[in-house]
Amino acid sequence: MEKDYWEHFYHQADIGIRGISPNREDAFAQAALALIAVITPPEMVKPLLEVDIHCQEEDDDYLFYAWINAIIYEIATRKMLFTRFRVQISPAGELTARAWGEPIDPSRHQPTVEVKGATFTCLKVEQDPTGLWSAQCVVDV
Amino acid sequence: MDIRQLTRVHEWKWIIPATGKMKVPAVFYANQALLEDMDQKVYEQIVNVTTLPGIVEAAFAMPDAHWGYGFPIGGVAAFDPEQGGVISAGGVGFDIACGVRTLLTGLTAQDINPLQERVADSLFRDIPAGLGSTGDIRLSSAEMDAMLAGGARWAVQQGYGEKEDLEHLEEKGCMAGARPDLVSAQAKKRQRDEMGTLGSGNHYLEVQQVADIYDPEVARVFQIQKGDILVSLHCGSRGLGHQIGSEYLKKMAQTASGYGIDLPDRELACSPIKSPLGQEYLGVMRAAINCAMANRQIITHLTRQTLGRLFPGIKLSLLYDVAHNTCKEEEHIIRGKPKNLFVHRKGATRAFGPGHPSLPPAFQQVGQPVIIGGTMGTSSYILVGTQENMELSLGSACHGAGRSMSRKQASRQWRGVDIIQSLREKGIIVRSVSKKGVAEEAPDAYKDVNQVVDAAEQAHLVRRVLRMKPLVCIKG
């Protein structure tokens, strides 16, 4: 199995997103791909434009919540989808990221649904005993 | 859900008695079959709600209750500000004041049938729907604030609708106490080009035919006959409401302990109603309620324009507009005494009985129209509130069918193109930007709306007035 990956998990009305990686930053980046995959397959999106994203929280869970909501905000206000994310997190909890994507093309992307926001449901950022990080929450659609 | 944990009062009412940290009991209005189909999370969530400060009487779960965020969807709870009661951003939800309104068209199936495809195409072209869609309206900063303060009243003043519409809206189309000045720049930016847009997911605009009348007298008051064509639309406060929900969920979760509130679930993030943050949230949530009412008003205007081109001389009048995700200040009689309460309805609708002062004169004798949205392949209902329900669940009812299957399961099980074809064979034309979106909203991914409505009626929350079947469905 790849070391970096994303997956969706069960919620009755909405959908859970999860990113997995040996490091926290890439777990956040993978979870961002899981978010995009709720809307359209990330591989359908071309990396034509760059967008910088910043957020800050001391607590990892709240930082992840802020990160997912920051991407949702960029999708909503720029009318863009993304296909790649690079994330850096400072010890003070300052997240600096770059996202690559393109404007939404409804006929090509066939966006399944609009994501309204990250939620606290199943919100968790943790490292397992093998050192693998996971970052997850349910998103409201 | 394991119903052995519940005490049966009668076939349609079950309770969880208050024990441990529960301040009040939890009450379910549903029969055994619906309860057994509910996720166990509904039990946990409704119990958690009963532990919040200042809760009055009980936490109520409607027949369509399902796993939500903090509150179950289909959850109702009222809080007394004089008893340390709270207001909860989680209890209101992300899509603030998401709701349904129904329009009378004066058309019959004979008028629509020959033009059904054109009606579908025209509405799909004219009503922006789906992720990334934008409306034609761009609001300046001052206009945005005026919209957030004025709601549907603002929209009518701008020419989107008629004055008579306002009589048939909750709060007469304008929620008092809104604080546009406290709404964040981010929330306003998200709404900048989303006025008059439908959104996606379970939002829709449907052309429907009245298939059955159960209560001819009330139907007459609602000015509806069997065979009439109605238009119903379901959407909310769009990006502005979503942003406010996200912002205040975090603020309230991070400050709850400072108010001495021990949250059983972070998603129940709340603040005392009388606290500065509680008052701030009330102001911005009310602005979002106005945004939702203005949005539905603009879509009403677009629908009138579209159908007016296809059916010259048509007049679409508004039956009623109900909101699902709100916290509203209401007076209720609790143990014989009037109390001013803050009633949270999360995925639940008001269902006020006859004589309630907030109802328009036309409905004073019969009660409030309660609009229940089904799925794109099943029935929707118009019900009417009962006097009895003012005590049963603080004048509340279910809001729709409620999901029974996750989106992922649904998209694995069905293909959008097959659903569209199968519905076409049943005489229902679906238009959507996303085939996968249609699969996720498959009719069979929802509970049987007939059972849900039956339960609400058997529990005396509402009475059935009529059933509509869909002819055209526009999805985001």
CB spacing of A112 vs B437 below 8 angstroms:
yes
Q: Rounded to a whole number, what is the distance in Å from the CA of A106 to chain B's nearest CA?
A: 7
Cross-chain Cβ contact A114/B200 below 8 Å? yes
pLDDT value for A11: 82
Tell me, yes or no, whether B411 lies in a domain.
no
What tokens were used for B461? Answer: 């929350």
Q: Tell me the chain B residues in contact with residue A66 when contact means C-beta distances shorter than 8 Å.
A: 250
> Of B203, B332, B344, B399, which one is the catalytic site residue?
B399
Does the distance separating the beta carbons of B433 and A110 come in below 8 Å? yes
Strand pairing partners for A89?
Answer: A95
Please give the domain boundaries of chain A with CATH numbers for all domains: 5-140 (3.55.10.10)
- B354 pLDDT more than 90: yes
Please indicate if any CB of chain B lies within 8 Å of the CB of A22: no
Helix (H, G, I), strand (E, B) or coil at A29: helix
B412 within domain boundaries: no
Answer whether residue B24 shows pLDDT above 90.
yes
74-93 in chain B: CB under 8 A from chain A: 90, 93
The answer to whether position B416 is within a domain reads no
Which residues does residue A95 pair with via DSSP β-bridges, in sequence order?
Answer: A55, A89
B230 neighbors B210 (Cβ within 8 angstroms): yes
pLDDT band at A3; cut points 50, 70, 90 = confident
Give pLDDT, residue B201.
87
B247-262 pLDDT, tens per residue? 999 999 999 999 999 9
Tell me which residue of B90, B99, B97, B37 sits closest to B68, measured CA to CA: B90
Asked whether the beta carbons of B342 and B84 are under 8 A apart, the reply is no
Nearest to B320 by CA among B108, B172, B192: B172
The first and second tokens of residue B291, run together, are: 């945004």
Interchain contact B312–A (C-beta under 8 A): no
Contact assessment for residue B405 and residue B444, using Cβ atoms and an 8 Å cutoff: yes
Chain A residues whose CB is inside 8 A of the B64 CB are none
Confidence of residue B407 (pLDDT cuts 50, 70, 90): confident
Digit-coded pLDDT (tens) for A33-57: 999 999 999 999 999 999 999 999 9
Angstrom distances, CA of residue A81 to CA of A22, A66, B196: 26, 18, 22
Residue at B359 is within a domain: yes
For chains A and B, what is the number of CB pairs under 8 angstroms?
A: 121
Closest by Cβ to A116, choosing from B94, B132, B476: B94
3-class secondary structure, A54: strand
Distance CA B352, CA B103 (A): 20
Rounded to an integer, what distance in angstroms lies between the CA atom of residue B137 and that of residue A110?
A: 24
pLDDT of residue A1: 58
Per-residue confidence (pLDDT) for residue B240, from 0 to 100: 97
Question: What are the φ and ψ backbone dihedral angles of B399, each rounded to 5 degrees?
Answer: -120, -15
DSSP strand pairing (B317-323 vs B99-108): antiparallel
Cα dihedral B40/B436/A108/B470 (nearest 10):
-120
Name the band, by pLDDT with cuts 50, 70 and 90, for residue B125.
very high
pLDDT of B119 strictly over 90:
yes
Per-residue pLDDT tens digits for B330-347: 999 999 999 999 999 999
Cα separation, A67 vs B165, in Å, equals 41
CB contact under 8 A, A120 and B269: yes
- Give the model confidence (pLDDT) of B66-116 as tens digits: 988 899 999 999 999 999 999 999 999 999 999 999 999 999 999 999 999
pLDDT for the residue B402: 80
User: What are the DSSP E strand ranges found in B2-97?
Assistant: 7-10, 13-16, 26-28, 55-69, 71-79, 86-88
**Dist CA B373 CA A111 (whole Å):** 23
User: In this structure, what token pair is assigned to residue A137?
Assistant: 């929450």
Contact residues, chain A, for B265 at CB < 8 Å: 120
**A121 touching B, CB under 8 A?**
yes
The two structure tokens encoding residue A95: 């997240």
From chain B, pick out residues whose CB is under 8 angstroms from the CB of A77: 189-190, 192, 239
Which residues have a Cβ under 8 Å from the Cβ of B276 and sit 6 or more positions away? none
Question: Percent of chain B at pLDDT above 70?
Answer: 100
pLDDT of residue B158: 97
Answer yes or no: is B409 within a domain.
Answer: no
Of the pLDDT bands very low, low, confident and very high (cuts 50, 70, 90), residue B32 is: very high
Q: Quote the minimal CA–CA distance from A22 to chain B in Å.
A: 27
**CB of B69 less than 8 A from some CB of A:** yes
- Condensed to tens digits (0 to 9), the pLDDT of residues B264-296 reads 999 999 999 999 999 999 999 999 999 999 999
pLDDT at residue A12 tops 80? no
In a domain, B415, yes or no: no
Q: How many domains does chain B have?
A: 1
In percent, the amount of chain B with pLDDT more than 90 equals 92
> Whole-number mean pLDDT of chain B?
96
B476 pLDDT band, cuts 50/70/90, is confident
pLDDT tens-place string over residues A100-116: 999 999 999 999 999 99
Give the best residue of A67, A112, A124, A140 to mutate against chain B (max B CB count within 10 A).
A112
Does A65 contact B at CB distance below 8 Å? yes
Residue B399 annotated among the catalytic residues of the structure:
yes
Residues in chain B with CB shorter than 8 Å from the CB of A14 are: 407
Which of B243, B265, B433 lies nearest to residue A111, judging by beta carbons?
A: B433
- pLDDT recorded at residue A10: 85
Here the ipTM equals 0.92
pLDDT value of position B132: 83
B446: closest chain A residue by CA = A13
Task: Search chain B and give the residue with CA nearest A15.
Answer: B407
Query: Which tokens belong to B289?
Result: 């309620």
Nearest residue of B to residue A62, measured between CA atoms: B250
Residue A13 has pLDDT above 80, yes or no: no
CB contacts, 8 Å: B447 with chain A: none
Domain that holds residue B31: 3-404+446-475
Question: Which residues from A are below 8 Å from B94, CB to CB?
Answer: 116-117, 119, 140
- Stretch B123-149: mean pLDDT: 94
Amino acid at B340: N
B134 interfacial to chain A (CB closer than 8 Å): yes
Residue B419 in any domain: the answer is: no
State mean pLDDT over B348-359.
96
Could you tell me the pLDDT band of residue B318, with boundaries at 50, 70 and 90? very high
Q: What is the mean pLDDT of residues B36-56?
A: 96
Q: How distant is the Cα of B313 from the closest Cα of chain A, in angstroms? A: 34
| Whether B407 contacts chain A with CB within 8 A | yes
Burial B346-378 (b: 16+ CB within 10 A, else e): bbbbbbbbbebeebeeebeebbbbbbbbbbbbb
| Nearest neighbour of A13 by CB, restricted to B73, B90, B435 | B73
CB A45 within 8 A of CB A34: no
Q: Where are the alpha helices (DSSP H) in B195-317?
A: 216-221, 238-255, 276-310
Of the candidate ranges A42-51, B305-314, B393-402, B452-461, the one whose mean pLDDT is the lowest: B393-402
**Is the residue at B202 inside a domain?**
yes
CA angle, B457 then B463 then B467, to 5°: 95
Q: pLDDT category, B405, cuts 50, 70, 90?
A: confident
Kindly report the CATH number assigned to the domain that includes residue B347: 3.90.1860.10
With contacts defined as CB-CB under 8 Å, which chain B residues touch A10?
406, 408
Tell me how far apart the alpha carbons of residues A118 and A110 are, in angstroms, rounded to a whole number.
22
Q: Measure in Å the smallest separation between the Cα of B112 and chain A Cα atoms.
A: 29
B436 interface with A at CB cutoff 8 Å: yes
Closest chain A residue to B72, measured at CA: A13
The H or E element containing residue B118 is: helix B116-126
